[in-house]
Amino acid sequence: LAITRAYRTVSTEALAILAGVLPLDLELLMRGKSEAETVAVRSGAMTAENTTKIETLRAEFIHRWNERWVVSEKGRWTAQWFPTVQARLRRPWVVPDHYTSQFLSGHGDFGEYLSRFAFKDDAHCEDCGHETDSVTHVLFECPSFSQERLNLRLEVGTVTANWPCEVEEMTQSERIYKKFETFCKEVLTRRAAKRTEAGGGVN
């Protein structure tokens, strides 16, 4: 949670993907298997053989993590952004914050999420009145955010003519991700300000 700034309702499976770090149980197993190499690092006696063993072990555990992720029933919205562990690890520029984590996880200031967890009576969009305020509605459709969406759409247009695009494409380059990051912050900050003015709030 501290790394991703995500909501507490996000599954541990999705949190690991968002953070780009091995799940704790796999991390502990890997450390146990690489104890000899860890000792070599600490003693300053690291060799090429030690390095190769560590790299091989890490590749093995990333493979195990991926096998777990692709069949998991949890975090399926996050899986649309990062269908494999390797896809996530190839994107070091993805550093989730309080705003992007909400879009990447689906757990955030969206009517669909808020009604699901009983923070709202229904899932409608308070900005345009659409009956379902989902991540995809805000990201691609809501007319209230057409101005905020413009720069993101133009940047995505450099790699695909499709709009709506596959959400995975919004993380495939640092340039696009930065536009996505800006969009998330502008939209959610605006929503929070509007709610504050109206006397409500979402944590």
| DSSP string across the chain | -TTT---TTS-HHHHHHHHTS--HHHHHHHHHHTHHHHHHHHHT---HHHHHHHHHHHHHHHHHHHHHHHH-SS-HHHHHH-SSHHHHHT-TT----TTHHHHHHS-SS-HHHHHHTTSSSS---TTT--S---HHIIIII-GGGHHHHHHHHHHHTTT-S-SSPPGGGGGSSHHHHHHHHHHHHHHHHHHHHHHHHHT----
What pLDDT is recorded for position 1? 55
Domain ranges of the chain: 12-87, 108-198
What pLDDT is recorded for position 45? 58
CB-based contacts of 126-130 (< 8 A; 24+ apart in sequence)? 126/191, 126/194, 127/191, 127/194
CB 89 within 8 A of CB 19: no
CB 98 within 8 A of CB 3: no
CB 173 within 8 A of CB 145: no
Is the dihedral angle over the CA atoms 142, 145, 146, 151 positive or is it negative? negative
Could you list the pLDDT tens digit for every one of the 203 residues in the chain?
A: 567 888 889 999 999 999 999 999 999 998 888 776 565 556 655 566 767 787 888 999 999 999 999 999 999 999 999 999 999 999 999 999 999 999 999 999 999 999 999 999 999 999 999 999 999 999 999 999 999 999 999 999 999 999 999 999 999 999 999 999 999 999 999 999 998 888 765 54
pTM to 2 decimal places: 0.88
Separation of CA 6 from chain center: 9
What pLDDT is recorded for position 200? 61
What pLDDT is recorded for position 194? 93
What pLDDT is recorded for position 52? 77
